[in-house]
Structure 1
Amino acid sequence: MKSKILVGLQFFIIFLMILPLGTKTQHLYLGSLILIFGIIIGLLALKEHKSGNFNIRPDIKENCELVTSGIYTYVRHPMYLSVLLSMFGLAVIYFTYYEFALLVILLITLLVKLFYEESLWKCHNPAYIEYLQKTKRLLPFVF
């Protein structure tokens, strides 16, 4: 149930951020560049998954495999990074306090989801503990 709530909240915030609400674009090129970079990270993450291994909810699927190759070598949660960068790009394009407030709420939601997912992986797969020591959560070499 917790997973469904977190995913629902995540998509609701993204929906609110996508609504321009009559604001003019401010920094179209910079925001678009950040948005595209976020999408590329997401595509790189999807590329590393075998069919049926990807899950939008933080729950651990039955028979899932821990992915540690490709972009997962540097970041444990590249899909979350992808979402955050893409939505940051939108916030730069529409550059309002409303957009940045939603971005902060999205960040908090994704961090809660991320920590919950990591707690499940620790119980599910002993190799995850070793993987924790080799990689960062969201930002390579930083966090």
Structure 2
Amino acid sequence: MFAQFGLLAALVWQAYQAWPNLTFGVTGSTLFAVSIALGIWTLTVNRPGNFNVIPEPREGGQLVTQGPYQWIRHPMYSSLMLFAAGCATVIDGWWAWYSCGALVLVLWFKSEVEEHLLIKQFRQYEAYRQRSKRFVPMLW
């Protein structure tokens, strides 16, 4: 969790430092827009009190499989990856791309831990895993 927030903070700091010279362009703007839309959609579909920043399902939590969850199991992680890619695109420096790649690895590892815990908590999770992708619909 600390690595995730540290890498996001590093990306935001890099963007802040480069702010006067940033050019968002179509790609950067699209990545940010999709990131924000997916994040908001995910938060509106997930039940209040069900969301957790640590990869441990909440006691008494519900398995959400509608909205973006019907296609991807970790849409909030996907939203964060899109945000990081948007930052790296507009900053366009090796450190930003390194931070983005490191964040993808951290979120992949975090999703692995979370999925093992979800399998233990929800009988239907394995079937859900079979019909959905981890981060990107129809791909990954």
Per-residue deviation at 1:84?
0.2
1:13 maps to 2:10: no
Per-residue deviation at 1:26?
4.0
Mapped partners of 1:41, 1:22: distance in 2: 26
What is the count of residue pairs matched by the alignment?
Answer: 137
Per-residue deviation at 1:22?
4.0
1:17-76 C-alpha deviation (Å, 9 max, x unpaired):
111374332444421221111111111111111211111111111000000001101100
Unaligned runs of 5+ in 1: 1-6
**Structure 2 length-normalised TM:** 0.93
Indicate the residue corresponding to 2:101 in structure 1: 104
SS of corresponding position for 1:19: helix
Matches within 5 A, 1:104-143: 104-143=101-140
Mapped partners of 2:17, 2:74: distance in 1: 33
The runs of at least 4 consecutive aligned structure 1 residues that moved more than 3 Å come to 26-29
Per-residue deviation at 1:125?
0.8
Is the contact made by 1:32 and 1:90 (CA closer than 8 Å) also made in structure 2? no
1:82 maps to 2:79: yes
1:88-121 C-alpha deviation (Å, 9 max, x unpaired):
0011111101100011111110000011000111
Indicate the residue corresponding to 1:59 in structure 2: 56
1:37 maps to 2:34: yes
Distance 1:28 1:18, change over 3 A: farther
Unaligned runs of 5+ in 2: none
Mapped partners of 2:73, 2:121: distance in 1: 16
Mapped partners of 2:23, 2:41: distance in 1: 29
Counterpart code for 2:86 = G
